[in-house]
Structure 1
């Protein structure tokens, strides 16, 4: 254990010892000075923090310091009452020197300190802590939404967003803790009053009964010691209470408390002239000694003159900066500045002015929140980090239209009616359900825009009714899934590798940079995402790449090995638990035809199939797929591992949504039922 941590534990043990074991007066003097030093350090630190979270340990520290002071009170009380008034040099000095040996004056000073601490500072700090905690908790949802909005707008990164969210949580915890910790200070003030009263009463009893002193002598002796003890205790307590008030009332700024006070209080030098003139007038028109008022007035006048002269110098120094800023504006207008306009956003969502309420939180729009959920959902499902989605309005679009762009190119668009609901038929149309005919944008299904009055009736008729925000969210999700392989570049691949390296450093070291570069790994991952296969299980993917990376540099072939290693994942993706997998198989003749057409080159293999045969195979596949869809099953093509990737390349232009599996990509327990065969005739 580090020495610093051990010293804190030892201090807590010392507090317990103080409560139980009588301490020698020399040790008590030493601990009293430490108590005063602690209080000074705490108030100085609180004055030099720029924001409350820089002193986040303060609530816990406040409890420990209060407990230490109360333990010290027990020790001093034991010393005063048990040692015939011998409580140590520090307490005696405070009783004799500080208050001039007058017990009554000392008691009055003590009462004033307690009133200032209890009624003014502690009460105010307690109220500020309570209000601060309440307002911080109430503001958390708004701050979270603001962070999400900045994140989706690309103004901050994911790391900055995490730091901001963490800071918000810490602020809520801090003000909640301060709300409770301020009760310690309040209780400490009450305990100080009670201890002083007990010491005076029992001091008189001990002095008169046990020591046989007269009433006046006993009162003077024990009252002075008690007041000295009270002052020794209450002065640090007052400093701690003041530090509490400073911390909870401190707003975040660029400087410490001294810097902010001097900067803001002396921001208007002319006001010092006014204050100085007022003080000087008091000396001339009242019985106050003119020497006192004229000295203060002169100091204020000189201060105002010096501050005014400094302001002029600052303004002169600022003029070249203004020229520089003008130069910067000219640079912005220069032709070279167009370089900044070359930045292309990975994903853009643009909408017409009629859809602004969809994204405006003040009008009830929750599109920004939905975008955040989409990114999280795709990270869980696909295992990729979706780039920040840029959301903006576009006056060139029709009011109710929206457009989705991938790397600057439009890949999808749609239309929304914000005051309607989209209803999709269950297969049997209800003539009573009427509306504006449209097409569901994500899957291309026929649908209707219906009014809110007809929503309940449509749901009773079996229609799937969706609100406009859900329509656009589903569309955006499907578009990102469809183009996920385009969004995963080398930089994004490097991020995934770095994340994997935190838990599997040996595995990553065996794969990259040798034998595979980041570009090779990116191509394998792109191949998987292109067929909507999640890359979340990176350890298995890298294990396979480590096994076969030394054997081949063909990324398409390595993708096939990876797919076979992900057999369990693919089986669960296409075959429901306990349900058979319905497929269209590729005949042996077609597989032989495809295998014979494969040509090997130094850059890899490619399919060189006769156009007539290609057309025949594709038509046969399309016929079987349509027949399978009509029977209510999701179309899946099944073939041998040797030709799977070539079959996929053959049909991806015509049927990109149809998955192609090989026998090696299915677990042995999966029941496969063939509902059609591609014969190529």
Structure 2
């Protein structure tokens, strides 16, 4: 027998067996075994809900709740058949009946009714309401969570696999709470069904005892009431455990600890509260008539716990002071090498104010870990291996401020207040916080307390944590400064890696035709226009062909772009559609005639008035496309492309510039959405 297949068929076989309970008579001994299984299953499920760190760790709970409810109802039917038919339903029911009754049927009924009230009125009703609210809030927050995942993915903070995993978690969370909203109705229905079955058993048992067996009403009441109460307790106790488990799972939040550890840590967080409670317990022991021993014992235990907390905190403070003293001592012994290291200009550096050093906590999702993920993303997207990013604190920065430096020069600055998240949206008036401008995209937002994340998401805002804000800002600066970050040593390492796989491409190009410095200049020119340099072998082959006729940097860059045409145009495609902005043919001819060589490449010589109108036309077209939610590229003749790019680079337009050959390299469908003119600015 293949035992590995048992887990797959255990639940289906169990459900089939439960269905059979409803129609097939069961002997008392088997019924005892099934009641034991029901009670222990409910106990195991309750304990698992306590030790689960988040609800999704026990996502099968709604289905198990239905199976457990069906099992109890099947046991109710089977036990009713035995109670009414034989007057005996096994030792479990008899034991529960004797314990609950304790010589008095009235006591037994009262205990049973109390259990029903606890389950139905308190636990089940509360769990049902929590599940309903949790499902509604989870569904309402889904769009904001999806947008946050997309923002992290676009910023390079997470990989595609991590994004898929987080999207799956969001969908699973919505499915779980939706299922729990419905599954909580099983618990409510189970409580009602259990109460009705008990009434049927009692009335039917008394009737059968008096009519069929000739018992007196007292004997029938004693016999069947005891069995009825035992049957009710044997099913209501696991039902109560499942109701408590339901309330437990729907009231849990995502946490890094199980419920016991978290509750213990939070209940002992205030030493003063424990001391006051202990003193209050001892004071109550002095009240006349009060039992003194329980109050004194509990009060002493609370005061002792508070004292232990003080000792633990004192020890932790002493360890912190020793660590600070060691750090100060090591700082006092600075060597020339230490000073030289501090003097060294780092390619990339993040400076944090003193109150932001908690962002570098050494965990799996701290600032350093996210920066490492960004380095991997940039390497995959641009082919640029970022230098290590130095992170240090700075007393010169204002509170809650960070600064990003490139080669020792500040390239960006922002704020990331402690204990807050950045909410981006159009309806933030009801949220507390100071209005700020997001540093990368210029969006309006507010730094709101972290505990109000759900409130912000309910308004439709996108919430971003502090680390994501800093890393997104760093990613934007890296994209803009990629050319500056590519060093000669980086080019040498990249060239060596290409030589291992394609030695002919490297040996033909350098140093035979151009030097490594000229290769660096070409790669920097590509990165300056956000062109990936991953395909170095193809770039080197194109440079080798072009260098045989001329080694001017502009011509080499254009040759490399021509080789990468399909990759360049792919990032601007929407499906197979490429929207383009054309240059008026007469204007384009005028620009070609006005081209002049210079030390920095070719330039277009136009009179100031016409140049201003051209830039205004491009700006109007860009604004019009932004209003319509469209993106496009400006296309022109290959000989004109470098000059047009430099011309627009200093203006307000952000439209990429491609040559006709590049635009058609991928076989995309072309759609013209605007024409640049030198007369009055016109936009399509």
CA distance in 1, matches of 2:281, 2:613: 91
Alignment CA distance shift 1:175-1:670 (3 Å):
closer
Q: 1:190-227 CA deviation, whole Å, 9 max, x = no partner? A: 11101111112222333334444443333332222221
Distance 1:340 1:70 in 2: 74
Structure whose CA Rg is larger? 1
Matched residue, 2:18: 15
Q: Give the whole-Å Cα distance in 2 for the aligned partners of 1:40 and 1:126.
A: 20
2:274 pairs with 1:276? no
Q: Any gaps of 5 or more consecutive residues in structure 2?
A: 351-373, 398-402, 414-473, 507-515, 548-555, 590-595, 619-633, 651-655, 672-684
- The structural deviation recorded for 1:261 is 5.0
Aligned match of 1:248 in 243, 247, 250?
250
When structure 1 is superposed on structure 2, of 334-343 and 174-183 the one drifting more is 334-343
TM-score under structure 1 normalisation?
0.56
Matches within 5 A, 1:500-649: 514-515=501-502, 530=528, 545=538, 559=560, 562-563=563-564, 636-638=636-638
**From 100, 105, 122, the counterpart of 1:120:** 122
Corresponding residue to 2:221 among 198, 219, 222: 219
Name 1:232's counterpart in structure 2. 234
- Once residues 142 and 666 of structure 1 are traced to their aligned partners in structure 2, the CA distance between those partners, rounded to angstroms, is 38
Structure 2 CA distance for partners of 1:7 and 1:237, relative to 1, 3 Å = same
**Closer/same/farther in 2, CA of residues 526 and 2 from structure 1, 3 Å limit:** farther
Residue number among 9, 16, 34 corresponding to 1:6 in the alignment: 9
Please name the residue that 2:455 is paired with. none
Q: 1:129 Cα deviation (Å)?
A: 3.2
Unaligned runs of 5+ in 1: 349-374, 397-402, 414-475, 498-509, 586-612, 672-681
Equivalent position to 2:83, from 77, 80, 85: 80
Cα distance in 2, alignment partners of residues 491 and 111 from structure 1: 81
CA distance in 1, matches of 2:663, 2:256: 60
Aligned pair in 2 of structure 1 residues 20, 525: CA closer, same or farther (>3 Å)?
A: farther
Residue of structure 1 equivalent to 2:188: 186
After superposition, residues 172-211 of structure 1 pair within 5 angstroms as 173-211=175-213
Distance 1:477 1:255 in 2: 33
Q: Which residue of 1 aligns with 2:442?
A: none
- Which has the larger displacement, 62-71 or 476-485? 476-485
CA contact (8 A) 2:579 2:670 kept: no
**Higher mean displacement: 217-226 or 560-569:** 560-569
Q: Distance in 2 between matches of 1:304 and 1:79?
A: 52
Q: How does 1:108-187 map to 2 (within 5 A)?
A: 108-134=110-136, 157-158=157-158, 173-187=175-189
1:483-494 alignment runs, 5 A limit: none
Contact 2:281 2:295 (C-alpha < 8 Å) held by counterparts? yes
In structure 2, how many angstroms separate the alpha carbons of the residues matched to 1:309 and 1:661?
A: 77
Which residue of 58, 61, 69 maps to 2:61? 58
| Inter-partner Cα distance in structure 1 for 2:175 and 2:571 | 45
Choose the corresponding residue for 1:44, options 44, 47, 50.
Answer: 47
The CA RMSD over aligned residues, in Å, is 6.6
Task: Report if aligned partners of 2:52, 2:259 keep a CA contact under 8 Å in 1.
Answer: yes
Classify 1:666/1:10 alpha carbon distance in 2 versus 1 (closer, same or farther; 3 Å).
same
CA distance in 1, matches of 2:490, 2:35: 60
User: 1:90, CA displacement in angstroms?
Assistant: 1.6
The answer to whether the 8 Å contact 1:204/1:222 transfers is yes
Work out which of the residue numbers 295, 311, 314 in structure 1 matches 2:312.
314
Question: Which residue pairs with 1:458 in the alignment?
Answer: none
Question: 1:629 deviation in Å?
Answer: 12
Q: Distance in 2 between matches of 1:337 and 1:556?
A: 41
Give the superposition deviation at 1:185. Answer: 1.4
CA distance in 2, matches of 1:169, 1:331: 52
Q: Are the structure 2 counterparts of residues 184 and 567 from structure 1 closer, same or farther at C-alpha, using a change threshold of 3 Å?
A: closer
Give the Å deviation of 1:123.
Answer: 1.9
CA deviations on 1:158-189 (whole Å, 9 max, x unpaired) are: 36995777766655554444333322211111
Q: Is the 8 A contact 1:129 1:179 kept in 2?
A: yes
2:357 corresponding residue in structure 1 = none
CA shift for structure 1 position 306? 3.7
User: 1:629·1:635 contact (CA, 8 Å) conserved in 2?
Assistant: no
CA distance in 1, matches of 2:478, 2:662: 29
SS at 1:158's partner residue?
Answer: coil
Residues 16 and 656 from structure 1, CA distance in 2 versus in 1: closer, same or farther, beyond 3 angstroms? same
* Structure 1 equivalent of residue 97 of structure 2: 95
TM-superposition CA deviations, 1:445-502 (whole Å, max 9, x none):
xxxxxxxxxxxxxxxxxxxxxxxxxxxxxxx999998766567899999xxx9xxxxx
Instruction: Tell me the CA shift for residue 34 of structure 1.
Output: 0.7
The alpha carbon displacement at 1:294 in A equals 3.8
C-alpha displacement at 1:233, in angstroms? 0.3
Residue 362 of structure 2 aligns with which residue?
Answer: none
Cα shift readout 1:103-126 (whole Å, capped 9, x = no counterpart) = 443222211110111112222222
